[in-house]
Structure 1
Amino acid sequence: MSCVLNLVIFAILWQKVLLHFVDQYASKAATAKPIDQIVEMGQGIEEIPLGQTQTRNLNLAYNHISTLPEFIFYNKSYKALTKIELYQNKINNIHVTAFRGLKQLTMVALSDNNITSLDPYTFRHNSKLEKLDLSRNRITFNRVGVFLISRTLETLTMSHNRIEQIYEVTFMGVPKLRNLILDGNILYMLAQNSFKSLNELQYLSLANTGVYRLSESMFGNNLPGIIDLQESPLAKRFDPPLKKITNNEVRSLIKIDQYIFISDTPV
């Protein structure tokens, strides 16, 4: 009888101990702070890891990620991301829906990858996107289509790609662009209306490119506040060579360049 009683008492005590630990675990889980930022730089990661719905900043730079499949961030529980840093990876394939579902996204850094092209609709549904860095990739522009469609993008960095020409339609999909950085590209040809659709353009960098002349038709009535022409053939036509020129100087340069171009044209 005493053995049975002891077993009953032991069972009751053990149940209380278990309930105590369960309550403690549940309490900690309820009060645990959500991970606001995930930083996994240089860890040899090959795919986007599982996240949390509350995570706002994701930094996976210096890894081995090569592809961004459809809905990858949304499917990995990232619902509130505002900033994504994926520079210095091996990305060569980005599905058109990879960034879909990220309604708070404002900045994406994809520099130093192996990207050759993007579907124009890749960021179409990221209605708060302001900054996109695609520098040091292998991107070229398509003659017959816009490069990107985004009604909110303000800063686009595309330095050191393989851009040779800008066509009339290239930037028609990013009307709110204020800063456009194209330095370090070959860029020997600008179409007649290259930047005409960019009514809010304030800064344009054509430094270290092959640009040899500008015309008023490229900008329409909306000249940028500053154009960086350092180390371009156009800059080297002047003594001393041009560097960064402001709005009024841009207008004067275009007039001078038109005069020189007409003078140099064979009759």
Structure 2
Amino acid sequence: MSKMKLHAVQFLLLLAFAFAQAKEYECQNNVKIDNFCLISQFYGGSETACKMRFPNHTAIKLQFPRIENLSARIAYNMRKVINLDISNGYVRNIYIKPELVFLRATNCELKKLYIDDRAPNQLEELYLSKNELSQLPENLRHLENLSMLDLSHNYIEFFDMGELHDLKFLSIVDVSYNRLKVVFAADTVQLPDLVFLNLKHNSLTAMHISHWETPILNELDVSYNQLSHVAKFPQKLPGMVSANFEQNPLTCSWLRETTKLLEAKNATFTSSLTTCVEPNRLYQSKETFIHELEMKDLLRANILEIARNLTEAEIDVDDKIDDIFCRIMGGV
């Protein structure tokens, strides 16, 4: 056998061995009915990334994945995919292929998202709920076609609206069920299409909207937070139609004024009127509260006297008296 033939045989053997080691994934559903390709038990490491082969389908759903990095190499092995849905597994890092239009990665223990800022990105919808993100993904502003952003149920503590500046198609932002303490923007933030901002169930103590340019933002949910007020609300948000401030320790004066402003424009305002706080009550003089205690003792004595006349027995009414007294004084 000539040397050239020998090299050819060796090459073919190596090629065959490489293909034998490749991991070829197949659709596990009826693609014609579902219009997507389902792949479960997706796993591998960096050493096998170049050997992964995927069906040539535009929509792929990965269930129960077990992989540290969904790298650029893996992303481009999914040659035709523009809709990618990943759920219920373990994927710590994801590279967003600029050609993607839709990406959902939920309940994956995701910690970091890589957005390519060197190429135009086509992504329109991004869902990253129920993961382990501790901050907003870097380079969000390079997703210039983004219309939907869902970061709910993560561990994010600070939300800089400036990270979204000039996303002209962004209409819905959901950062609910995180650990947000502050929402801020150091410079002007223009979001001309934003209509709904969901910040409920966080730990917000401050929310700065003075730099927001959101002309058609009409629904805001900040329920279940720790806000006492939001300066320039609703004046700074001319399109506001529905605002939910329920379960926040709002100051009564701000609440009353805000309610009037929203009612004047026929907007709905959900809040807990019975739990508002009058700041001046927190700092009244010593004499005021000593007088209150005297009133409480007098109330107790009168109620006990009435109870004895009716029952001729000693009864414990302290809890009831405390409740009645707090209702009379407003509970502050």
| TM class by smaller structure | 0.5 to 0.7
Pair 1:201-2:222 in alignment: no
- Aligned AA for 2:109? K
Measured after TM superposition, the shift of residue 214 of structure 1 is: 3.6
SS at match of 1:146: helix
Cα pair distance change 1:192/1:52, threshold 3 Å: closer
Quote the offset at 1:60 in angstroms: 0.8
Q: Does 1:216 align with 2:250?
A: no
Structure 2: 5+ residue runs without aligned partners?
1-54, 285-332
**In the alignment, which residue of structure 1 is the partner of 2:5?**
none
Larger Rg: 2
CA distance in 2, matches of 1:192, 1:251: 19
**Cα deviation 1:170-226 (Å, max 9, x = unaligned):** 8825343211000001101223626x4222211100111112224435642515111
User: Secondary structure of the equivalent of 1:95?
Assistant: strand
- Cα 1:261–1:248 change in 2 (3 A) is farther
1:88 to 90, 107, 113: 107
Following superposition, the deviation at residue 231 of structure 1 comes to 2.3
Cα RMSD of the aligned pairs, angstroms, is 3.9
Q: Distance in 1 between matches of 2:67 and 2:124?
A: 24
**Cα distance, 1:261 vs structure 2:** 6.3
Aligned to 1:111: 129
Q: Which residue of 2 is the match for residue 47 of structure 1?
A: 69
Amino acid at match of 2:134: T
The sequence identity of aligned pairs, in percent, is: 17
Q: Structure 1 residues 125 and 214 mapped into 2: Cα distance closer, same or farther (>3 Å)?
A: closer
TM-score, length of structure 2 as denominator length: 0.53
Q: If each structure's helix is expressed as a fraction of its own residues, which one has the higher value?
A: 2
Aligned with 1:186: secondary structure?
A: coil
Q: CA deviation at 1:44?
A: 2.5
Aligned to 1:229: 245
What is the total number of aligned residue pairs between the two structures? 215
User: Which residue of structure 2 aligns with residue 189 of structure 1?
Assistant: 206
Q: More strand by proportion, 1 or 2?
A: 2
Aligned partners of 1:142 and 1:167: how far apart in 2? 6
1:65 CA displacement: 0.8
Q: TM-score, normalised by structure 1?
A: 0.65
Q: Which amino acid aligns with 1:159?
A: S
Task: Tell me by how many angstroms 1:164 deviates.
Answer: 0.9
**RCO higher in 1 or 2 (8 Å CA, sep ≥ 6)?**
1
CA distance in 1, matches of 2:119, 2:143: 7
Q: Which residue is equivalent to 2:44?
A: none
The answer to which of 202-211 and 94-103 deviates more is 94-103
Alignment map for 1:139-218 (pairs within 5 Å): 139-141=156-158, 146-149=162-165, 150-169=167-186, 172=189, 174-191=191-208, 193=210, 196-216=212-232
Question: Aligned partners of 1:202 and 1:58: how far apart in 2?
Answer: 30
